Amino acid sequence: SSTAFWMIQSILSPLGSPWIIQKAVELGVYRIVPMATRRSVVKLDKKKAEAKVRRFHAVCESAAKQSGRMIVPEVSEVVSFSEACKVAGKLDMGLIPYELARGMGETKAVLQKVRPGMQVGIMIGPEGGFDVEEVEEARQAGIIPVTLGRRILRTETAGMAALSILMFHLEEV
């Protein structure tokens, strides 16, 4: 069975979000979980959050159709960072790309443990990055900090880089 990637994405400005959702669907994401973080620029009330999730679902449908996918990824309701840690912590593996994570060697070793059929959560931070306490909370929940290289990537790029690396590692043609 194929690997299921869960992208747990910090909520972004209305302009950035549809693009990220579309590209994540093209890269084979299974489920999208929007999360509110301490440094999230966008703060949503319940009504706005529900409207955003409906919009994300529509983007998922059109991106799945365009990329020839049979499955339309689900978009969950917006969750808090703590709830996101619980979600990722229940999966086979949770990863949190973090600019202060240790070297590429450790990240490569972690990625070697990802096997077909696993459910893998990738937590992507907001424009301002994750708070140190958030990364520690994630670590306590069993989520592994990883590096995506020495450059600091924008949030739009980080998720795409993580998904691309995982897809390349697992894709069987």
pLDDT digits (tens, 9 = 90+) for 98-156: 877 777 888 888 988 998 889 999 999 988 889 899 999 999 999 999 988 888 888 88
Please check the confidence at residue 1 and state whether its pLDDT lies above 60.
Answer: no
SS3 category, 79: strand
Name which of 52-56, 60-64, 99-103, 159-163 the model is least confident about. Answer: 99-103
- Full-model pTM: 0.89
| Interior/surface letters 120-132, b for 16+ CB within 10 angstroms, e for the rest | bbbbbbbbebbee
- Residue 9 φ then ψ, to 5°: -110, 130
- Residue 146 φ then ψ, to 5°: -130, 160
Q: Which two tokens stand for residue 105?
A: 């060697």
